[in-house]
Structure 1
Amino acid sequence: MTGGSDTIFELLPMVFARPGEALARAEAVLDGDPSPLHASVAHHVIGMWQRDFGDLRVALRHLRRARDLAARSGSADREADVLGTLGVALVHAGRTRQGLAALERGVARGTGHTRARVLYRRAYVWWVLGHHREALDDVRRATPVLRQADDVIWTARALTLRATVHLALGAVERAEADFTAAQRLWDTTGQEHDKADVVESRALAAFRSGDIPAALRLFDEAEERYAKLGTPVFVFYIRRCEVLMAAGLAPEALAEADAAIAVLDRIGGQTTRKAELLLAAARAARLAGEPDTATARAADAVRLFAGQQRAWWETHAQLVLIEARLAAGRTSGRMVADAAAVAGRLTECGSPAAPEASLLAGRIALRLGRRAEAERHLDVAARSRHSGPPLARMTGWAAQALRAEAAGSSRGVLEACRRGLDVLDDHRMTLGASELRARATAQGAELAALAQRASLVSGGPRRLLVWSERWRATVLSAPPTRPPADPALSRNLTAFREIAARAETARVDGRPVPALEREQRRLEREIRSWTLRMRGAVPGDGHRFDPGRLLERLGGGRLVEIAELGGRVQVLLCGEGRVRRFEGGPLADALAEVEHVQAGLRRLAHPGAEGRLPVLEAAGRRLEELLLGAAVSHLGPGPLVVVPPARLHRVPWALLPSLRERVVSVSPSASSWLRAVETEPPPDGGHVLVRGPGLATGGAEVPELADRYGTATVLEGDEARVPRVLDSLDGAVLAHIAAHGTFRADSPLFSSLRMADGPLIVHDFERLHRSPYRIILSSCDTARLASVGADEVLGLVTALLPLGTAGVVASGVPVNDATVVPLMLALHKGLSSGLSLAEALRDARAALPGDAVHQATGWAFTAFGAA
């Protein structure tokens, strides 16, 4: 290509409109015999492409060549323009002094419009370095000149940059105004990369204003735009990691940051972006409970930022490094001083993270017993509790609660915890996805623990019960936002079922499945991404738990709520008009015993393991001592409701000796049990019997149950397809589903029941207007749940409870299919005579033969809820 000057200069904006085409055309120019001016532009284009999308070392070679050719061409503005781009590349390579010097020469050499572009680039570099006020000064000087020149592209870039700097300083409203103005300008251009960048920046602004669903939606839109361009975008990954962490998805943020670092290393990309990705990975690792990984990533980030002379970033990395060391159990006076120094520097540069650093200094000082010093730092951190985004206010209330605890004021602790959890509750209810609501509770775990500790010291068992309920199973306090009838979501769910079914068939036939599994994972990501973007529409109930109402509804029964404080089990026994507290054993011992019990039940699902029965029974006795302690002798003769913490959801309660012949039901919280008790069955609901494919017994109980209920809807064979099953389940009074269950620990809302056309997943159940009043899941693993957040559980059972289901019977371990059939028939016999699920399950266990396999099957099933 040897066109005129106008044509060659069109390649510069094309780098961010059609990157691949710009690179190819620039290389074509150099294949000819270009003039120094044209060759300078071509090398400039290649250098820009390599700087942002490729190898930074290659970029620097091309940009230096472009600078030299510009000087030969005799154009001072051409040389200034290249110097501006070269300065940015040098800074990204960690050569900060050289980069700033190149930019200074560019500002001096350029005139008018060109000089304004170089000022914009220097403003961008100031932002990268964390010098936000200098960035604002330069962009304010550049913008009027760019406007006057009617340079739409560079004016839009300047507005986008100014908005981004405002975000870094916490000025969200100013940022929004600039992003909106920039968006209007970008819409008049063909700059596709720049358009994607402003969508990405708006996502960050939505997040900073507290709107996580909008942020996730905009990030998805930006990702789609970038994907069409085929270029890596490392700032995008850094920003999205921040939102994923705030949404409680820290492991995903860590995986995304580490993957981006690997790509960056492979292509020889910008070291500035590597440092920022390391910082994101460190934050994510700390939140994911990996303090050693967090320490290593943060230390690398500190080293890189220091070498790049990026003091603002270095200070933020030092904050994460100290947090990671504290999480690893390290404390020292030096750490207090370091955290205080970091807080001071963050305050000086106007960072919204300053209160977090002050809280950290106060927390470490408290651990060292330096109360006066802790009070100073906590007082500073507590000032953020009345303003700013929700998570910043949470930091302030956490500091206030720690101050009150150090001063010995239980009332002050409880008030601060109440106010802080109210803030987080309001924030959670903006989230439509039950997964995000559950994971967000992790941010309130410390406040909940502080309140429980204060209640234990001064308030007695009843107050401890109230606070145990305050942050337990909150995701069940309101129905999840029901997904609208979105055609794209419906298509993805249908395609997911089809691909999953084909993959299962291929596995059975021994055929390769990698391509099908990749497509299944892609569809899972699409479905999950769609649900995470839903906004909350239903307010919570305010968690106004009333112990008096609970005690009244219990009648002659008892409710045992198990809490954990300081590593030990606390047993709150409710009944006879009062709440009493007993102490159990170490929680760690109980958790270890649960694993032994689970393994024993799995073995007993197969004949020939009968010799393990005494071992399993002995484990049940140990579990009873650890989990119930002296409360066992006060349980009374009536029905018992057990409310375990999330980490104990796998306990087979019927195995405990004192509970084997009792009517026992399990509930995620006392509040959810009360709601279940007060749930009325649908007046015109029918009975639904579903038999899925591939069962060892063929779901042998279903034909007999069909005869028992007479008019029941029976779905089997090709009739047992997900759309038909969901339609029949909606509003049923009783549903019995005999289908293979699959629990997904990696993604609990994709736990499923196997139907004729593929898996029926939790996301499908959440689309019901009202789930069945009673539901019986007769296959194994259907009661398994994932513990997430502070004290939340996700899975099939918890998806049903807030949607109108008052009671569920399900198994949490693999069971022997043949022994399930008589258990289910006996269970339904009890239900037909008017018993509750828990009563019928107790009687069904007693009716089974006395061999080990039948006993293990009976213990594996649990009644949840109150129906």
Structure 2
Amino acid sequence: MTAGNDSVLHLLPMVFAAPGEALARAREVLDGRPSPLHACVAHQVIGIWQRDFGDLRLALHHLRRARDLAARADSADREADVLATLGVALVHAGRTRQGLAAFERGVARGTGHTRARVLYRRAYVWWVLGRHREALEDVRRAVPVLRQAGDVIWTARALTLRATVHLALGAVERADADFTAAEALWDTTGQEHDKADAVESRGLAAFRAGDIPAALRLLDEAAERYAKLGTPTIMLSIRRCEVLMAAGLAAEALAEADAAIAVLDGIGGQPTRKAELLLAAARAAGSAGDAHTAIARADAAVRLFAGQRRAWWETHARMVLLEARVAAGRRSGRMVADAAALAERLARFGSPAAPEASLLAGRIALWLGWTADAERHLRTAARSRRAGTPPARLTGWAAQALRAQAAGSTRGVLEACRRGLDVLDEHRMTLGASELRARATAQGAELAALAQQVSLRSGGARRLLVWSERWRATVLSAPPARPPADPALLSALTAFREIAARAEDARRDGHPVPALEREQRRLEREVRSRTLHMRGDAPGTGHRFAPERLLARLGEQRLVELVVLDGRVHVLLCGQGRVRRFTAGPLAEALVEAEHVQAGLRRLAHPGAQARLPLVEEAGHRLEELLLGPAARHLGSGPLVVVPPGSLHRVPWALLPSLRERVVSVSPSASSWLRARETEPPPGGRHVLVRGPGLATGGAEVPELADRYGAPTVLEDEEARTARVLRELDGAALAHIAAHGTFRADSPLFSSLRMADGPLTVHDFERLDRSPYRIILSCCDTARFASVGADELLGLVTALLPLGTAGVVACSAPVNDEAVVPLMLALHKGLGAGLSLAEALRDARAALPGDAVHQATGWAFSAFGAA
């Protein structure tokens, strides 16, 4: 082989080291007068580039030309190598039979080292087709030869592929060993694209091992590497969709899959990848509750997989299609048989999804009243509860709970639900980000609801309370992981704050801000991404809630916990040593009424709306009947703690007639109220008063409060900058913040308070070592939350409660800034007299003028916690 031949052949490994450069140099070769051998290599390089990063039709054209030139060059090994490349392209084009035939010829033509490379690529094709045993056999034959030849690059590729096949079969430990060996080899090469692929594969392995933060971090790292190479990331999108769904981010997974499909269609890319993206989109749509979209995407995926002769994939797509049809309300005996057949096929394939199909068959059979069939299928699914990944074990415990329910065993149902939720709780605490913890709870919603329904039927109010607490506000059970030393995160937060402040100033001056908004969204994505990478370091609490401890702590107080079952509100009234249950109204009607109240409060925030006051008060009467029902007559006269479900977090409880004159505090759960009650105030008793910019009143209450408290820390004007504010808030006894509040329903952890240098977000609050013992937020929308997961709330208040705050006063609606000032002054007067936040707020409302604006302002504020 001459030096010229060596330089041209070097273009082949360059495709995965520097793809763009390899493509350009291959075109330069063809622009000259190349020999058949050189032209063959150049066409093969262009074909590989187009196959993996561009137009598959062009790829097939160049690879067929390369095959013909290899035959003219009279090089059997060259022809075998090109046939293998062509075989991969044909399979990706959906021409499976032609692709496998090309491999047969390639294996026959190749010898030694070349033949081993052909076998590796055929193993890859077997993996694409879902024929995992054939893939492992070809890799087994290829690896020793590649190693003996000292071919580091192809040995690393083969080990990476074998690890990926092991993952598909659920053999995580074997996969990890192969990934580790491959990574050691990649470190000795300059194959940048292959290295990025290795990082992506490690992300997949982390996901299969149950480490979602690591999976997200590695996949993001792979994306950065691919971006530097300028190559599309279709396979990465498929894997990201899977991880995003497991993280509870189904809507984002669906958006990513659809965007990748559009990119693939735009470049004429691989139909095999389009089918996989359609399957990912179907799964995401199903997880997001969009059954009709899931049916459409899954049906398209089934047809593509069938045409591509990819039985493994087709079976999985049929499983998702059947799940979507069931979610859309379709149930029949034929569907039981279909689910059972899918379970058998998935088991033969060695797929970890087989128990899910058995569970689905059992569910449908139960709905149809076929108890014997249901027992058979559920028993099969329940075997997965003892081992495997958390989702697999959850599937098993769900099946076991349904078996017990069908058998009429209350104890069996509750035990299975408890064990399943323990699995999920253990998994949830591996997540560092509060958003991921909150969203993960959705996976346990069915088990929690089943346990609550059984408890309701068994007639035990205490048992229902225990199970209501078991899966309520669990994200508040431990602080989120906080990485204050992460310079990249701190830098991104600072840059976000600067851009957001510039955008706000430009909007105020009437200037368009599209470029600033794009940069702000980019920085938000970076901050959120780095937050989601954090791994949890707090042990699970086990959620061993004891009603006796709550009742002892309540004393003369009452606690009302609202539980929603089958669309109806049930009231658990705790106090005087007992728990009683009352049935109230339909949740749907209560939600409509609560929206009417919110609209009324918004109108009353402006002068001249006095005539609407009776309408709002009447809506309060209707809300009380729907939310408290007969329990309203048994509340006693002492302080009351209200524990609403997430869907009712915006109810202004002080507007309800039976609560208007009394001390009322709100808590996300009885457990969090107990923690707040037992939280000790910090030593020193520091008071911090903060005044943000742009308030209509200028935060007029702050100077007067400064005089009242003697020597508090007052932060205003340029001193009210985020870093300084956070430093002073950390560990304070009392903080009062007068600043514009912004709630972000689209991204609740970017809900913020406006400081001199930009927004102070929930992400910032989560970096506090200890938030203030008491905190008063005298601005609009600070008590608004996003309801995610099973029944979790994300927002400013819920960020503070796990970090040491025992009590918060915040507002759930827009209010009149001028009317806030006297309310706040009266509130602090009560605190100075030794009252709790809830007591002081009750008295402050009573001290306000009787006009509609002031009344509405008082109703809009609530006290949270127990301080």
Q: TM-score, normalised to structure 1's length?
A: 0.99
> Which range moved further: 454-463 or 833-842?
454-463
The structural deviation recorded for 1:541 is 1.9
The structural deviation recorded for 1:337 is 1.1
Alignment of 1:719-738 (within 5 A): 719-738=719-738
Distance 1:369 1:748 in 2: 43
Give the structure 2 partner of residue 344 of structure 1.
344
Give the structure 2 partner of residue 500 of structure 1.
500
Residue 617 (1) aligns with residue 642 (2): no
Distance 2:439 2:133 in 1: 36
Aligned partners of 1:558 and 1:575 also within 8 Å: yes
Distance 2:787 2:185 in 1: 47
The structural deviation recorded for 1:566 is 1.0
Give the structure 2 partner of residue 754 of structure 1.
754
Aligned partners of 1:642 and 1:664 also within 8 Å: yes
Give the structure 2 partner of residue 675 of structure 1.
675
Give the structure 1 partner of residue 481 of structure 2.
481
Residue 378 (1) aligns with residue 347 (2): no
| Matching residue's letter, 2:139 | V
Residue 454 (1) aligns with residue 423 (2): no
Aligned partners of 1:688 and 1:728 also within 8 Å: yes
After superposition, what is the alpha-carbon deviation per residue over 1:254-278, rounded to whole angstroms, capped at 9, x for unaligned? 1111110110000010000000001
2:628 aligned counterpart, secondary structure: helix
The structural deviation recorded for 1:371 is 1.1
Aligned partners of 1:688 and 1:729 also within 8 Å: yes
Distance 1:798 1:112 in 2: 64
The structural deviation recorded for 1:3 is 6.9
Give the structure 2 partner of residue 80 of structure 1.
80
Give the structure 2 partner of residue 219 of structure 1.
219
Distance 1:17 1:540 in 2: 45
Aligned partners of 1:196 and 1:222 also within 8 Å: yes
Give the structure 2 partner of residue 716 of structure 1.
716
Distance 1:678 1:540 in 2: 19
Aligned partners of 1:772 and 1:805 also within 8 Å: yes
After superposition, what is the alpha-carbon deviation per residue over 1:158-197, rounded to whole angstroms, capped at 9, x for unaligned? 0000000000000000000000100011111110000011
Which consecutive unaligned segments of at least 5 residues does structure 1 have?
A: none
Distance 1:319 1:521 in 2: 36
The structural deviation recorded for 1:642 is 0.3
The structural deviation recorded for 1:699 is 0.6
Distance 1:465 1:815 in 2: 35
Residue 50 (1) aligns with residue 60 (2): no
Give the structure 2 partner of residue 278 of structure 1.
278
Residue 772 (1) aligns with residue 756 (2): no
Give the structure 2 partner of residue 428 of structure 1.
428
Distance 1:685 1:51 in 2: 67
Distance 1:704 1:335 in 2: 71
| Matching residue's letter, 2:184 | R
Aligned partners of 1:442 and 1:790 also within 8 Å: yes
| Matching residue's letter, 1:410 | T
Aligned partners of 1:489 and 1:530 also within 8 Å: yes
Distance 1:767 1:184 in 2: 36
Distance 1:134 1:179 in 2: 20
Aligned partners of 1:129 and 1:310 also within 8 Å: yes
Distance 1:290 1:592 in 2: 23
The structural deviation recorded for 1:16 is 0.5
| Matching residue's letter, 2:56 | L
Give the structure 1 partner of residue 388 of structure 2.
388
The structural deviation recorded for 1:604 is 1.2
Aligned partners of 2:241 and 2:257 also within 8 Å: yes
Distance 2:103 2:239 in 1: 27
After superposition, what is the alpha-carbon deviation per residue over 1:473-499, rounded to whole angstroms, capped at 9, x for unaligned? 001111212224122211111111111
1:398 aligned counterpart, secondary structure: helix
> Which range moved further: 333-342 or 720-729?
333-342
After superposition, what is the alpha-carbon deviation per residue over 1:625-678, rounded to whole angstroms, capped at 9, x for unaligned? 111010000000000000001111111111111111110000000000001111
Give the structure 2 partner of residue 404 of structure 1.
404
Residue 260 (1) aligns with residue 265 (2): no
Aligned partners of 2:344 and 2:354 also within 8 Å: yes
Distance 1:702 1:174 in 2: 63
| Matching residue's letter, 1:527 | V
Alignment of 1:307-346 (within 5 A): 307-346=307-346
| Matching residue's letter, 2:385 | R
The structural deviation recorded for 1:540 is 2.5
Q: RMSD of the TM alignment (CA)?
A: 0.9
The structural deviation recorded for 1:608 is 2.0
The structural deviation recorded for 1:62 is 0.6
Give the structure 1 partner of residue 548 of structure 2.
548
Aligned partners of 2:484 and 2:490 also within 8 Å: no
Aligned partners of 1:51 and 1:89 also within 8 Å: yes
Distance 1:563 1:394 in 2: 24
Alignment of 1:234-253 (within 5 A): 234-253=234-253
The structural deviation recorded for 1:459 is 5.1
Aligned partners of 2:551 and 2:576 also within 8 Å: yes
Alignment of 1:555-574 (within 5 A): 555-574=555-574
Give the structure 1 partner of residue 795 of structure 2.
795
After superposition, what is the alpha-carbon deviation per residue over 1:732-757, rounded to whole angstroms, capped at 9, x for unaligned? 11100000001111111111000000
Give the structure 2 partner of residue 598 of structure 1.
598
Distance 1:639 1:683 in 2: 27
Distance 2:3 2:750 in 1: 57
| Matching residue's letter, 1:230 | G
| Matching residue's letter, 1:109 | R
Distance 1:251 1:51 in 2: 30
Moved over 6 A (4+): none
Distance 1:605 1:266 in 2: 51
1:570 aligned counterpart, secondary structure: strand
Alignment of 1:625-704 (within 5 A): 625-704=625-704
| Matching residue's letter, 2:823 | L
Give the structure 2 partner of residue 136 of structure 1.
136
Give the structure 2 partner of residue 145 of structure 1.
145
Distance 2:300 2:348 in 1: 24
Alignment of 1:280-295 (within 5 A): 280-295=280-295
Aligned partners of 1:663 and 1:838 also within 8 Å: yes
| Matching residue's letter, 2:215 | A
Alignment of 1:228-239 (within 5 A): 228-239=228-239
After superposition, what is the alpha-carbon deviation per residue over 1:581-624, rounded to whole angstroms, capped at 9, x for unaligned? 00011111111111111111111111122222222112111111
Distance 1:567 1:405 in 2: 21
Aligned partners of 1:257 and 1:277 also within 8 Å: yes
Aligned partners of 1:685 and 1:731 also within 8 Å: no
| Matching residue's letter, 1:99 | G
| Matching residue's letter, 1:594 | A
Give the structure 2 partner of residue 837 of structure 1.
837
Aligned partners of 2:740 and 2:753 also within 8 Å: yes
Distance 1:688 1:599 in 2: 33
Give the structure 2 partner of residue 520 of structure 1.
520
After superposition, what is the alpha-carbon deviation per residue over 1:674-700, rounded to whole angstroms, capped at 9, x for unaligned? 011111111213111000000111111
Residue 862 (1) aligns with residue 862 (2): yes
Give the structure 2 partner of residue 269 of structure 1.
269
Distance 2:69 2:593 in 1: 75
Which consecutive unaligned segments of at least 5 residues does structure 2 have?
A: none
> Which range moved further: 459-468 or 533-542?
533-542
Distance 1:180 1:36 in 2: 40
After superposition, what is the alpha-carbon deviation per residue over 1:493-533, rounded to whole angstroms, capped at 9, x for unaligned? 11111111111111111222111111111111111111111
2:636 aligned counterpart, secondary structure: coil
Distance 2:614 2:345 in 1: 63
After superposition, what is the alpha-carbon deviation per residue over 1:695-732, rounded to whole angstroms, capped at 9, x for unaligned? 11111111111111111111000000001100110111
Distance 1:144 1:545 in 2: 58
After superposition, what is the alpha-carbon deviation per residue over 1:138-161, rounded to whole angstroms, capped at 9, x for unaligned? 111111111111111111100000
Aligned partners of 1:771 and 1:805 also within 8 Å: yes
| Matching residue's letter, 1:339 | A
The structural deviation recorded for 1:825 is 0.8
2:682 aligned counterpart, secondary structure: coil
Give the structure 1 partner of residue 510 of structure 2.
510
Distance 1:405 1:357 in 2: 19
Matched residues, number: 866
